[in-house]
């Protein structure tokens, strides 16, 4: 896809797996890439891959949950290249356990990395994107957040939060041509080792997801789209609301709701709403 020449992109968690694939994909398309990872060595290795193929990259060792480190990374990129056009929020961790056995520390840690990490990175580039009148921001959700998955209460909660954040920033960024989308990838990475077979892992290579990333952060990108991607399949998730049923004041009881639940849940008149006030 065209439109990446001269663009500056930050990809978090880019030292391996999906992030590495996204960073390489953006570089091949012509973007200058900040390869961000909590591991300095991993970030440097991927940045070296990019420069070896003739593109521009810089490595940035940053913990996305640390606001100071994130701001320093952004300032370094702007000092070197003058702008930030694209942010791919990819960094994440897993601490899976059934809810009854889930340690509050592990719940808080996953929320910190995914939710606060995404917040830190996005807010760090927000003013720059507003000033330049252009920005493309991608959040990473998951089917676990959209639909649920056993043993992932912390991860699912964090990934569902991405959709809420996207909805608000889509509205706030519109007049600055900041477009905000969410990716829901299905891929075999270091976080899925032991969870899927080698055969399935081969089908779910990170490279099968990256084309969706390039579309969602391109000049031609939509905004407020949730796109699922994996194994060469691309799909979109929609959040819709049924038309609803008005109940007169005397009928606003649980019993009347139950009696008319078929009408209330009827999908024939459902629609996508543009904002909460709709």
pLDDT at 199 over 80: no
- Reported as a single tens digit per residue, the pLDDT across 66-99 is 999 999 999 999 999 999 999 999 999 999 999 9
Distance CA 259, CA 91 (A): 46
Residue 180: what are its φ and ψ, rounded to 5°? -125, 125
- Reported as a single tens digit per residue, the pLDDT across 15-60 is 999 999 999 999 999 999 999 999 999 999 999 999 999 999 999 9
Query: What pLDDT does residue 203 have?
Result: 85
Tell me the two tokens of residue 172: 């706030």
Q: Look at residues 172, 170, 152 and name the one whose alpha carbon lies nearest to residue 160.
A: 152
pLDDT at 202 over 90: no
Q: Look at residues 2, 4, 16, 118 and name the one whose alpha carbon lies nearest to residue 56.
A: 4
- State the catalytic residue, choosing from 134, 147, 155, 215: 155
- Reported as a single tens digit per residue, the pLDDT across 250-266 is 999 999 999 999 999 99
Is residue 12 a contact partner of residue 36, using CB atoms and an 8 Å limit?
Answer: yes
pLDDT at 148 over 90: yes
Our answer to whether residue 155 is catalytic in this structure is yes
Output the pTM of the full model.
0.94
Query: What pLDDT does residue 3 have?
Result: 74
Query: What pLDDT does residue 54 have?
Result: 97
Task: Spell out the CATH class of 8-237.
Answer: alpha beta
Q: Please report, for the chain, the start and end positions of each structural domain, with discontinuous segments joined by +.
A: 8-237, 240-278
pLDDT at 189 over 90: no
């Amino acid at each position: 896809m065209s439109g990446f020449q001269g663009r500056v992109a930050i990809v978090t968690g880019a030292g391996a797996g999906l992030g590495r694939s996204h960073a390489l994909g953006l570089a091949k398309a012509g973007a200058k890439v900040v390869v961000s990872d909590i591991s300095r060595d991993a970030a440097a290795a991927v940045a070296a891959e990019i420069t070896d193929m003739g593109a521009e990259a810089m490595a940035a060792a940053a913990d996305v949950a640390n606001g100071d480190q994130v701001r320093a990374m952004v300032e370094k990129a702007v000092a070197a290249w003058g702008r930030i056009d694209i942010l791919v929020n990819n960094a994440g961790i897993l601490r899976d356990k059934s809810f009854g056995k889930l340690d509050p520390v592990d719940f808080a840690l996953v929320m910190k990395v995914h939710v606060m990490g995404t917040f830190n990175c996005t807010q760090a580039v927000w003013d720059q994107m507003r000033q330049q009148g252009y920005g493309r921001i991608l959040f990473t959700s998951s089917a676990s957040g959209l639909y649920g998955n056993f043993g992932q209460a912390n991860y699912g909660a964090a990934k569902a939060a991405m959709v809420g954040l996207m909805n608000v920033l889509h509205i706030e960024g519109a007049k600055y041509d900041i477009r905000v989308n969410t990716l829901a990838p299905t891929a075999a990475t270091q976080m899925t080792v032991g969870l899927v077979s080698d055969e399935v892992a081969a089908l779910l290579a990170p490279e099968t997801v990256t084309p969706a990333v390039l579309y969602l952060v391109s000049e031609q990108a939509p905004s407020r789209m949730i796109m699922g991607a994996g194994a060469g399949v691309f799909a979109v998730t929609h959040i819709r609301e049924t038309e609803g049923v008005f109940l007169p004041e005397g009928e606003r009881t649980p019993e009347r709701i139950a009696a008319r639940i078929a009408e209330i849940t009827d999908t024939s008149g459902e629609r996508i709403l543009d904002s909460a006030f709709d």
